[in-house]
Amino acid sequence: MRNGNYDLEERTFIFAKNCRLLVKQIKLTLINVEDCKQLIRSSGSIGANYIEANEALSKKDFRYRIKICRKESKESKYWLDLLFESNRNLQNEITSLSVEAEELKLIFSAILGNTK
């Protein structure tokens, strides 16, 4: 762990890192390349926006950043689901990451529910 605490910043970092490790294992076809690019972008955006949320200057800005985190979590799951369809040889790894993307989405939804 980077900072010694397993918190949401760390969890989102690990998710993005694991998505990148998955991409390294995927056979690069035209379709996979595009889906992988999207997954890399959306998975990294979750943690980056969470860091921004923690530095927010207002409650409105915080909620906006958390909404982006939730949106990017949902998008990451979408790209993982597409990759699952064309990479059955990696179904365990993809399923695990898809579950994590769903859990992150639920966490960010809960944060939004608690900051009304």
What DSSP letter does each residue of the chain carry, written as one string? --SS---HHHHHHHHHHHHHHHHHHS---HHHHHHHHHHHHHHHHHHHHHHHHHT-SSHHHHHHHHHHHHHHHHHHHHHHHHHHHH-GGGHHHHHHHHHHHHHHHHHHHHHHHHT-
- Using CB atoms within 10 A of its CB, is residue 4 exposed (0-12), middle (13-18) or buried (19+)? exposed
The one-letter code for the residue type at 49 is N
Number of domains present in the structure of the chain? 1
pLDDT reported for residue 6: 53
- Global pTM value: 0.91
For 87, the domain range is: 8-114
Residue 101, in any domain of the structure: yes
Residue 2, in any domain of the structure: no
Contact 17, 39 (CB under 8 A): no
- Using CB atoms within 10 A of its CB, is residue 51 exposed (0-12), middle (13-18) or buried (19+)? middle
pLDDT reported for residue 42: 98
pLDDT reported for residue 4: 41
Residue 40, in any domain of the structure: yes
Residue 3, in any domain of the structure: no
pLDDT tens profile 54-72: 999 999 999 999 999 999 9
* pLDDT-flagged residues of the chain (< 70): 1-6
Residue 76, in any domain of the structure: yes
Tell me, what CATH number does 38's domain have? 1.20.1440.60
